[in-house]
Structure 1
Amino acid sequence: MSDATANTPIENTNNTVDTAEEMDSEIESLKKENEELRVQSESMRAKLLEANMLANNYLEEMEKLKEQLERITSPPLFIATVMETEDDMALIRQHGNNQEVVTQIPAEFKDEIEPGVRVSINAAFSIVSIMRKATDMRAQIMEVINSPDVDYDMIGGLDDVLNEVIESVEMPLTEPELFDKIGIEPPSGVLMYGDPGTGKTLIAKAVASRAHASFIRMSGSDLVQKFIGEGARLVKDVFQMARDKSPCILFIDEIDAVGGMRTHDGTTGSAEVNRTMLQLLSEMDGFEPSGQVKIIAATNRIDLLDPALLRPGRFDRVIEIPIPDEKAREDILKIHTRHMNIADDVDMTKLARMADGLSGADLKIIVKEAGMFVLRRRGEQITMKDMTEAFNKVTTEEEQNTASGMFA
């Protein structure tokens, strides 16, 4: 009896140990199961997030497809021009068939609808939207919105010419009250003529910069188009764009390409050039001298221009841009070299004396060529020798080009 009593605590202890081990094992099993469930939960959460993203993408794609379907199935709109307005009604003319219809002006467009405005209409002739003015894309390409970065101090030897251009173009735009006080109308247009490279385009850019005006540059050859009526339409669009962008300076380079004396050789080409010039004359007559649009034209051959262009009321100021004299050449050389590293031995007066008969553009090329000589020998300063060699190179090339042109 005593032996059984003695073994009982040992058995109880063993049972307790076994129970604890079983509980630890069960706890470990539960932990593993819990970890597996947690991993599964994270995986399900990631899949759910991915499914939500896919659902959103599908919804966006469905919206795009709906919009695309609406665009495809919606009826097309037609273009019309407003002819007259009265109260809340407008007379519109549809493009293409010239059908005229009276329709009601929507309340949101009431302040913008006026004769001449282009609108889009539906099949019921209701106004849907207002369209911008029709402008030839070639005319838009010619436009320079900002004023050119050119000033009068970049032009040398043309002080008298600059004064005339300032009086004719800049002052009417910046100080129109001076003309009103005296009671005179400013010149309607300025025609500059002279040899190539004398600074005609540079003067026009400088005036536009000082007047803080938009600058539209076009070449006379751009107005000569292949098909009938295109040139005249382009002229009309360019002048209309100049009015819309006022204050504006319209510069027509090489005007002799379209403004030559009218002739007719029996071909469609000459007739088209004549029509383009007539449209140009008509547009120039339509400008008010005191308006915010000024016309500057340039040509190398004033003797080829039609007399109708030169009459008063169109180009009131005809200004010759001469080949620079010695003092002007020296000023031009100083302008082109003021930002260059020039050696002390460079004599601008001597260079100006050597360059007799050269234009401002020729002098700019000489200075640039001298800089290339320095670059070639890896130097740091432009010397008199560089200038002389550049002068000899440029003048020799010009003589060769002149000689080859004589026998071409």
Structure 2
Amino acid sequence: MNDEQLEEVVKELNDKIEVLETKNSEVISDLQKVESERRYIESELFRTQKELKRMKSELERMKSPPLIIGSIKDVLIDGRVVVKSSTGPDFIVTTSEYVPPEDLIVGSRVALNKQTLAVMNVLPPSLDPLVTGAEIIEKPELTYSEIGGLEEQIMEVREAVEDPLLRPELYKKVGIEPPKGVLLVGPPGTGKTLLAKAVAHQTNATFIRFVGSELVQKYIGEGARLVRELFELAKEKAPSIVFIDELDSIGAKRLEVSTSGDREVQRTLMQLLSELDGFNPIGEVKIIGATNRPDILDDALLRPGRFDRIIEVPVPNYEGRLEILKIHTKKMNMDKNISLTEIAMKADGATGAELKAICTEAGMFAIREGRDCVISTDFDHAISKILDTEAAKIVESGVMFA
């Protein structure tokens, strides 16, 4: 074999080697693709199996019979319990092994098996959404320094509500019982609600606010139930302060002649009276009531032992008006020639709420005229507008009821 033939053979071999290498790379690429697909299919299979397991569990849960709501009336020595089901009668039943014996408390709500009525689990206590929504989560930002003209009232509220919560040992050392409740009375807009907000800010207690009219319900017993759950929430969240605004809506004097609606309000009042009597004097729950009609409140509500301290929040005098004006004008951009003493004199008879409205209206008059500074004339217009409007309302109401 000559050299030319040898070169041709070598060339053919090289061509075959190149073809084999190309095919080998293609096979390797196909194997890698198959391996990637295998891993994807395995992951999909695992996910599908997991989803199938979840669906089977959900199907079994949906097939399980519904549970009956009941309550425990008695716990027997042998471990069985007497329950009252929602269907009416009482039953002696067994309990599930998953229910701890210490959770079986008389009065607790329980879930019962539909067929055997066995206690399956203990349910948490039920509270009306109206009651749970009364808890103020975020503390009011109002402080005592932002309330003007009520130094004596602030001192009395702090003695009756704040000190027993923050320093109960003082009362024990002196040997006296702190007041159970405080009733704030006075005309509208004098600062009763502001006092309650300031107390809530000052203490670390849970603040629960309720308007008396919210306790008046349509159906028999609903108002009393709300009062009971309200105080249960207060005990659970202790230390706490319960503030009942517009107390006269449920605390009016009981009359012999009354409609069915009046009788339901009286039932709510009686439940409130019993709850006030049931509190421990040195306990960590304090009651603050507010009303602008103390003359129509029931005598049983005002007796010592319920609302022990009645604090009158009057219309501010000249010094009080001046202090309130200083608080509300502290951040206002005013002319240097404005005299707050003259404004306090001109606003004779104005409440704290009206004085705040006067300051706001004075600023509105300045904005209306395109100024960024409030002048004395703005306050004159504001006093005329606010106080004349209030006077007109009083005259109109007097004509209506004449």
Pair in the same fold by TM > 0.5: yes
The one-letter code of the counterpart of 1:89 is: G
1:289 corresponds in structure 2 to 281
Larger radius of gyration: 1
Q: Does structure 2 conserve the Cα–Cα contact (< 8 Å) formed by 1:80 and 1:92?
A: no
1:115 and 2:109 correspond: no
Identity %: 41
State the 1:349 CA deviation.
1.9
State the 1:18 CA deviation.
3.1
Give per-residue Cα distances to partners, 1:176-231, cap 9 Å, x unaligned: 22222222211221111111111111111212222311111111100111111111
State the 1:357 CA deviation.
1.5
Q: Does structure 1 conserve the Cα–Cα contact (< 8 Å) formed by 2:96 and 2:120?
A: no
1:369 and 2:369 correspond: no
Where 1:273 maps in the other structure, the secondary structure is helix
The one-letter code of the counterpart of 1:311 is: R
The one-letter code of the counterpart of 1:58 is: T
The one-letter code of the counterpart of 1:190 is: V
The one-letter code of the counterpart of 1:298 is: A
2:40 corresponds in structure 1 to 50
1:302 and 2:290 correspond: no
1:237 corresponds in structure 2 to 229
1:347 corresponds in structure 2 to 339
Where 1:297 maps in the other structure, the secondary structure is strand
CA distance in structure 2 between the partners assigned to 1:323 and 1:211 by the alignment: 27
Give per-residue Cα distances to partners, 1:19-48, cap 9 Å, x unaligned: 444344334433443443344334334433
The one-letter code of the counterpart of 1:363 is: L
Q: What is the number of equivalent residue pairs in this alignment?
A: 398
The one-letter code of the counterpart of 1:79 is: I
Where 1:252 maps in the other structure, the secondary structure is strand
Which sections of structure 1, spanning at least 5 residues, go unmatched?
Answer: 1-7
State the 1:391 CA deviation.
3.4
Give per-residue Cα distances to partners, 1:145-172, cap 9 Å, x unaligned: 4543322112111011111111111122
Give per-residue Cα distances to partners, 1:374-407, cap 9 Å, x unaligned: 5556655444444444434433443454455456
Where 2:46 maps in the other structure, the secondary structure is helix
Q: Does structure 2 conserve the Cα–Cα contact (< 8 Å) formed by 1:264 and 1:271?
A: no
State the 1:139 CA deviation.
0.9
For residues 149 and 39 of structure 1, do their structure 2 counterparts lie closer, same or farther at Cα, with a shift above 3 Å needed?
Answer: same
Q: Given the alignment, which residue of 388, 391, 395 partners 2:387?
A: 395
CA distance in structure 1 between the partners assigned to 2:133 and 2:11 by the alignment: 90
CA distance in structure 2 between the partners assigned to 1:389 and 1:283 by the alignment: 50
Matches within 5 A, 1:328-343: 328-343=320-335
C-alpha root-mean-square deviation of aligned residues, in Å? Answer: 2.7
Q: Does structure 1 conserve the Cα–Cα contact (< 8 Å) formed by 2:99 and 2:122?
A: no
CA distance in structure 2 between the partners assigned to 1:105 and 1:81 by the alignment: 15
1:82 and 2:72 correspond: yes
1:69 and 2:59 correspond: yes
Q: Does structure 2 conserve the Cα–Cα contact (< 8 Å) formed by 1:78 and 1:94?
A: no
CA distance in structure 2 between the partners assigned to 1:78 and 1:45 by the alignment: 55
Give per-residue Cα distances to partners, 1:108-138, cap 9 Å, x unaligned: 6234433333333334454432221222221
CA distance in structure 2 between the partners assigned to 1:64 and 1:81 by the alignment: 33
Q: Does structure 1 conserve the Cα–Cα contact (< 8 Å) formed by 2:96 and 2:121?
A: no
Where 1:287 maps in the other structure, the secondary structure is coil
Q: Does structure 2 conserve the Cα–Cα contact (< 8 Å) formed by 1:242 and 1:293?
A: yes
Where 1:101 maps in the other structure, the secondary structure is strand
CA distance in structure 2 between the partners assigned to 1:394 and 1:47 by the alignment: 80
Where 1:128 maps in the other structure, the secondary structure is strand
2:263 corresponds in structure 1 to 271
TM-score (norm 1): 0.87
Stretch moving more, 329-338 or 163-172: 329-338
1:99 corresponds in structure 2 to 90
Where 1:259 maps in the other structure, the secondary structure is coil
For residues 367 and 39 of structure 1, do their structure 2 counterparts lie closer, same or farther at Cα, with a shift above 3 Å needed?
Answer: farther
1:315 and 2:315 correspond: no
Q: Does structure 1 conserve the Cα–Cα contact (< 8 Å) formed by 2:211 and 2:247?
A: yes
TM-score (norm 2): 0.88
1:192 and 2:172 correspond: no
Which sections of structure 2, spanning at least 5 residues, go unmatched?
Answer: none
CA distance in structure 2 between the partners assigned to 1:38 and 1:373 by the alignment: 86
Q: Does structure 2 conserve the Cα–Cα contact (< 8 Å) formed by 1:82 and 1:90?
A: no
Stretch moving more, 357-366 or 367-376: 367-376
Q: Does structure 2 conserve the Cα–Cα contact (< 8 Å) formed by 1:83 and 1:90?
A: no
Q: Does structure 1 conserve the Cα–Cα contact (< 8 Å) formed by 2:99 and 2:120?
A: no
Q: Given the alignment, which residue of 242, 248, 258 partners 2:250?
A: 258
The one-letter code of the counterpart of 1:284 is: L
